[in-house]
Amino acid sequence: MSVRRTIRLRLVPTPEQAGALLETLRQHTECFNAVCAYGWQHQERNGVRLHHATYRALRERFPALPSQLVIAARERAREALRSVLAHARRGRKASQPRSRRCSIRYDARTYTLRAPKGYVGLASVAGRLKVTLAIDPHAQGILDQAVGLDSADLVYRKGRFWLHVVVTVPDVEFQPSGDVVGVDMGLSRPAVCSNNRFFGERRWKEIERRYFRLRRSLQRKGTRSAKRHLRRLAGKVNRFRRDCDHVLSRRIVDSVQPGTVIVVENLVDIRSRTKQRGRESRRRLHSWSFAQLRAFLTYKAGARGCRVVGIDPRRTSQACSRCGYVHRSNRRSQSRFLCRACGFELNADLNAARNIARKYLASGGMPAAGGPLSTGLSCQPAQAG
């Protein structure tokens, strides 16, 4: 078995190569926008029909752009059109996809990675370019394990070129141990596990508040320098959240044994399905990076020989993890759970985490090897007399 990982490599092009890469990105973006405009106007998302309708005109318009990159732009446009048209069919707000600088997805025919020699070959409007690479130790460690190379995305951000390379690395075989741990992800407590572990740091919330106050102050000023500061601040906030999610997912994975099933809630569309009282609660909900946290948790769990699965989140916070009684007023406050039926009292997030684990077991979740199952509530399962 094998899994795919994405590593980020920084490119160090010469001034001539940088100019060629920028022009390649510009023409590729024009192709992307042209295909999107046609697909949006004709409500078309089929890749073959989009190709027949746009390919010849784009090749004539951009003769220096390699044909494979024209096709890559069309494929990117097809993905974008499929997403927005699906949103439109569900009655959601949707508009024509458009990009100011669309990243280029290279394949085996348009790029060649020579990591040991420290360069990558990229197709461009100026022909094949040999661009020097700057590989950090983390990326080098993954490259040393890689058994195959897949696609790579060329990204230009804040004056630097990056290559996001998808590599195939050997998978750690999942051998189920029978342990099941539920994880309740939230806003007040970033993560609580059913094995009585609480993760996250209080200072994270205060740092977020400080960033928000600074952003609000800069927005009120509205000067050119304030807008420049806002752009820098946006990147800083994103890096901070990404670092928090990396730390959080690593601590969760390290707290369980290999072979454990980690159960989380499927929080798709949570922003539209839930109502938060108060301006701060709504702001925190809309800035919550739960999808990024789950993605980090999934690949780190796979590297440790664990598995991440999702369950329906409904009523996990309202049900009693002891007797199963469900009532909205069981959760007396953000952190206090008190069952109206049996009187069981527990931290509300921990109660939800236990419900998440039990809901997975009740739905038929069973490791392939069978054996006793544990939700982390006790060290050993009960033995038959």
Residue 61: the pLDDT is 95
- What's the mean pLDDT in 108-129? 94
Task: Indicate if the pLDDT at residue 90 is higher than 90.
Answer: no
pLDDT tens-place string over residues 366-384: 543 333 344 444 333 333 3
Residue 3: the pLDDT is 81
Residue 271: the pLDDT is 56
**Per-residue confidence band for 267, with pLDDT thresholds at 50, 70 and 90:** confident
Q: Which among 42, 374, 351 is positioned nearest to 184, based on CA atoms? A: 351
Residue 368: the pLDDT is 36
Residue 124: the pLDDT is 96
Q: Which among 35, 19, 39, 122 is positioned nearest to 70, based on CA atoms? A: 35
**Per-residue confidence band for 274, with pLDDT thresholds at 50, 70 and 90:** low
pLDDT tens-place string over residues 289-346: 788 889 999 989 988 889 999 988 888 888 998 898 998 888 888 788 999 999 999 9
Task: Indicate if the pLDDT at residue 281 is higher than 80.
Answer: no
pTM comes to: 0.74
Give me the sign of the Cα torsion angle 308, 314, 318, 321.
negative
Higher pLDDT, 161 or 272: 161
pLDDT tens-place string over residues 163-205: 999 999 887 888 888 899 999 988 778 899 999 999 988 888 8
Residue 202: the pLDDT is 83
Rounded to the nearest integer, the mean pLDDT of the chain is 87
The Cα 154–Cα 133 span in angstroms is: 13
**Per-residue confidence band for 280, with pLDDT thresholds at 50, 70 and 90:** low
Residue 111: the pLDDT is 96
- What's the mean pLDDT in 116-134? 95
Higher pLDDT, 381 or 49: 49
Residue 160: the pLDDT is 94
Higher pLDDT, 276 or 197: 197
pLDDT tens-place string over residues 5-19: 899 999 999 999 999
Task: Indicate if the pLDDT at residue 126 is higher than 90.
Answer: yes
Residue 201: the pLDDT is 86
- What's the mean pLDDT in 353-364? 89
Give me the sign of the Cα torsion angle 220, 225, 231, 235.
negative
